[in-house]
């Protein structure tokens, strides 16, 4: 079989799998209205009721109980859509007059570094990732050089000025004069191209 034919068959197979997955996700919330059962009613095939606590066959298909009120569509309520794997009936569990039902998890503090910002400890929702408390930015520390050796005390980055013309640090009074003339020479070199 030619290489191009194999490649074409591979692309067709990948597209078939992709469209199959899209179809599965597209119909997750499109259960036939005849296949819905009232939440709390009795399931004919599974032992128990259409209720998460009394029916072990309930599978969560979709939920919006993590959304903030601003993200809900008009006239939409907080809900979870279940499907009973024993009888394939869909069941909506509604949460009237409820605030978003986030699942809080602790988020540890991120220490700032010399060049990167940090964050305070806080909590966020394990499901949707929204920040619930804390997690404020902490400004980066900068490069401390307490002993004035030209190197950062934390990350050891070199902090001294380096002349763009010769690469030296030019420290002290005499170095300041040299730095002045070297800077002029550097800019003249760039301007005239020599």
Cα distances (Å, whole numbers) of residue 57 to 28, 32, 54, 167: 16, 19, 9, 72
Which among 62, 64, 58 has a CA at the least distance from the CA of 39? 58
Name the pTM for this structure: 0.41
- DSSP β-ladder status, 118-119 and 137-138: antiparallel
Q: Which residue has the higher pLDDT, 81 or 46?
A: 81
Range of the domain at 73: 29-101
72 in a structural domain: yes
Whether residues 61 and 123 share a domain: the answer is no
* Residue 153 pLDDT level (bands cut at 50, 70, 90): confident
Q: Is residue 151 part of a domain?
A: no
| Whole-number pLDDT of residue 22 | 53
Shared domain for 35 and 97, answered yes or no, is: yes
Q: Is residue 73 part of a domain?
A: yes
Tell me what the pLDDT averaged over the chain comes to: 78
């Amino acid at each position: 079989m030619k290489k191009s034919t194999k490649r074409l068959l591979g692309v067709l197979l990948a597209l078939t799998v992709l469209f199959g997955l899209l179809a599965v996700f597209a119909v997750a919330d499109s259960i036939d209205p005849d296949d819905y059962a009232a939440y709390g009613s009795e399931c004919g095939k599974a032992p128990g009721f259409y209720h998460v606590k009394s029916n072990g066959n309930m599978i969560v298909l979709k939920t919006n109980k993590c959304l903030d009120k601003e993200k809900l569509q008009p006239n939409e309520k907080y809900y979870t859509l279940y499907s009973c794997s024993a009888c394939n009936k869909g069941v909506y569990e509604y949460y009237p007059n409820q605030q978003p039902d986030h699942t809080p998890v602790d988020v540890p503090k991120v220490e700032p570094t010399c060049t990167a910002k940090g964050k305070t400890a806080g909590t966020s929702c394990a499901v949707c990732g929204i920040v619930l408390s804390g997690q404020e930015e902490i400004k980066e520390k900068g490069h401390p050089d307490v002993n004035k050796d030209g190197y950062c005390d934390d990350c050891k980055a070199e902090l001294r000025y380096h002349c763009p013309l010769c690469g030296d640090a030019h420290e002290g009074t005499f170095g300041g004069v040299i730095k002045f003339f070297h800077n002029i020479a550097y800019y003249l070199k760039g301007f005239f191209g020599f």
